[in-house]
Amino acid sequence: MNSDDGPLPIFPLANVVLFPHVQAPLQLFEPRYRQLAKHVLDGSRRIGMVVVVPEHVAEMAGDPPVFPVGCAGVITRAQELSDGRYNLVLLGTHRFRIVRELERSEERLYRVAEVERLVDAFEAADSERVDALRSSVLGLVRDLLEGREPERARRLTPDLLRNLEAAKLVNALSNAFALPAQEKQGLLEADSIPERFERLSTVLRFLLAERFAGAPANPGTLH
């Protein structure tokens, strides 16, 4: 068994998707998640971020159904506030699939799932394809920025990101756009780096089409 397989505390949210190599700030204030923070800080420092199925967001106070694919993260910074809340910074490490959720004991307030690690496949034979997708996606990002942040768009050159690994680049861009959580979940569920680039390309082309059609929405914002 991979050392990343096995039980993992899970933290369900309605609107936050964690990607590998990407940081996410979290504030934990509910009693169950304060307990989760205390337990993981005393142990593995690992949390599994998962997204609640949209139709069940109203059930957040309970144990709503979640998408089976999530992202594990390690706590890199932690602050316990005087009122018991925690401010955390979580760094995504790898994707996982929930095998089953473990029965909750009387003492444990938060959810724990048995998970299996998912590998973001990127074969050497895909290098040329990924290079082409990478260039295409960066071009789309520049096109989206051009109308609102032309100076930023001009700075976004291939040379600027040349040394950034493909996996880190596609995950950073998937996280950076203010997309609906379900859209980001679809990007997270891509089984390979080339597939994630392709899905991201499709999303960006749709945003550009909306822009040219004069859609008033603001999902093209880049953080």
Q: List, as one string, the DSSP characters of 112-128.
A: EEEEEEE--B--GGGHH
For residue 110, which of 62, 76, 66, 144 has the smallest C-alpha distance? 62
pLDDT at 178: 86
Q: List, as one string, the DSSP characters of 32-94.
A: HHHHHHHHHHTTT-EEEEEEB-GGGGGGTTS---B-SEEEEEEEEEEEE-TTS-EEEEEEEEE
Per-residue pLDDT of the chain (223 residues; tens, 9 = 90+): 455 778 999 999 999 999 999 999 999 999 999 999 999 999 999 999 999 999 999 999 899 999 999 999 999 999 999 999 999 999 999 999 999 999 998 899 999 999 999 999 888 888 999 999 998 998 898 888 776 666 665 666 666 677 789 999 999 999 988 899 999 999 999 999 999 999 999 999 998 888 777 655 444 555 5
pLDDT at 194: 95
pLDDT at 223: 54
Give the separation between CA 95 and CA 5, rounded to whole angstroms.
11
Sign of the dihedral through C-alpha 79, 83, 8, 89:
negative
pLDDT at 1: 47
